[in-house]
A and B are shown apart, each in its own frame.
Chain A
Amino acid sequence: MLKADSITDAAARWEAETVAPVLAKAPERANLVTASNVPIERLYTPSEAEAGDYAEKLGFPGQYPFTRGVQPTMYRGRLWTMRQYAGFATADESNRRYRFLLEQGSTGLSVAFDLPTQIGYDSDDPEACGEVGRVGVAIDSLADMEALFDGIPLDKVSTSMTINATSAILLAMYVAVGEKQGVPAAKLTGTLQNDILKEYIARGTYRFPPRPSLRLTSDIFAYCTRHLPKFNTISISGYHIREAGSTAAQEVGFTLADAVCYVETALRAGLAVDDFAPRLAFFFAAHTDLFEEAAKFRAARRLYARIMRERFGAQDPRSWMLRFHTQTGGVTLTAQQPENNVVRVALQALAAVLGGTQSLHTNGKDEALALPTEAAAQLALRTQQIIACESGAASTIDPLGGSYYVEQLTDRIEREAEAYIRAIDERGGMVAAIEQGYPQREIEHSAYAFNREIDEGRRQVVGVNCFTGDAPADVPLFRVDEAATARQVERVRALRASRDDAAVRNSLSEIAAVARAGDNLLPSILTAVKAYATVGEICRVLAGEFGEYCEAFHSA
Chain B
Amino acid sequence: MSEVKNMSPDVPTFWLPDAAPQGHPAAPVRRRILIGKPGLDGHDRGAKYVAQILRDAGHEVIYTGIRRTPEQIVAAAVQEDVDAIGLSLLSGSHNALFARVLELLRAQDAEDIAVFGGGVIPDDDVERLLALGVQAVFTPGTSAAEIVSRIEQVLSTR
Interface residues of A (CB under 8 A from B): 115-116, 118-119, 121, 127-131, 134-135, 199, 203-206, 243-245, 331, 334-336, 368-371, 444, 447-448, 451-452, 455, 464-465, 477, 479-480, 551, 553, 555-556
Contacts and interface: CB of A to CB of B under 8 A. Distances in A.
B96 interface: yes
Given A127-B40, A448-B49, 19 more contacts: A115-B40, A115-B91, A116-B40, A130-B39, A130-B96, A134-B93, A135-B92, A203-B42, A204-B66, A205-B42, A243-B43, A370-B92, A371-B92, A444-B48, A447-B48, A448-B52, A451-B144, A465-B143, A553-B65
Contacts of A135: 41, 91-92
Contact of A204 (B42, B53, B144, B145): B42
Contacts, number: 96
Contacts of B63: 553, 555
Nearest to B68: A551
Given A368-B120, A370-B120, A131 B39 contact: yes
A203 B91 contact: no
A193 to B, nearest CB: 14
A253 B62 CA distance: 31
Contact of A455 (B43, B120, B140, B145): B145
Nearest to B146: A455
A204 B67 contact: yes
A503 to B, nearest CB: 30
B52 A556 contact: yes
Contacts of B100: 129
B135 interface: no
A370 B121 CA distance: 8
Nearest to B92: A134
Most chain A beta carbons < 10 A, residue from B45, B63, B140, B145: B45
A130 B97 contact: yes
A129 B49 contact: no
B9 interface: no
Interface string B61-78: 001011101000000000
A370 B42 contact: no
Given A368-B120, A448-B52, A477-B122, A129 B43 contact: no
B38 to A, nearest CB: 8
Interface residues of B, number: 32
Nearest to B89: A130
Contacts of B49: 447-448, 451
24 contacts: A115-B41, A115-B91, A119-B40, A119-B67, A127-B40, A129-B93, A131-B40, A131-B41, A131-B91, A135-B41, A244-B43, A245-B45, A331-B45, A334-B140, A335-B139, A371-B92, A444-B48, A455-B53, A455-B143, A455-B145, A477-B122, A479-B122, A480-B92, A551-B67
Contact of A551 (B53, B66, B96, B139): B66
A316 to B, nearest CB: 36
Contacts of B145: 455
A336 B100 CA distance: 30
A163 to B, nearest CB: 14
Contact of B40 (A128, A244, A368): A128
A112 B43 CA distance: 16
A147 B100 CA distance: 33
Shortest Cβ-Cβ A-B pairs, 7 listed: A204-B42, A130-B93, A130-B96, A115-B40, A335-B140, A134-B92, A455-B144
Nearest to A129: B96
Most buried by A among B91, B93, B96, B139: B93
B60 interface: no
A204 B43 contact: yes
Nearest to A464: B141
A444 B120 CA distance: 20
A556 B63 CA distance: 13
A371 B91 CA distance: 10
B44 interface: yes
A406 to B, nearest CB: 29
B95 interface: yes
Nearest to A118: B40
Count chain A CB atoms within 10 A of each CB in B42, B63, B120, B140 and give the residue with the most: B42
A465 B145 CA distance: 12
A336 B66 contact: no
A25 B98 CA distance: 58
Contacts of B42: 199, 203-206
Contacts of A556: 52
Given A129-B96, A444-B48, A447-B48, A134 B91 contact: yes
B141 A336 contact: yes
Interface in B98-147: 100, 120, 122, 139-141, 143-145
A334 B141 contact: yes
Question: Which of B63, B67, B95, B144 gathers the greatest number of chain A CB atoms within 10 Å?
Answer: B67
B93 A370 contact: no
Contacts of A118: 40
B120 A203 contact: no
Contacts of A204: 41-44, 66-67
B92 A129 contact: no
Contacts of B140: 334-335, 368-369
A135 B110 CA distance: 32
Contacts of A551: 65-67
A505 to B, nearest CB: 27
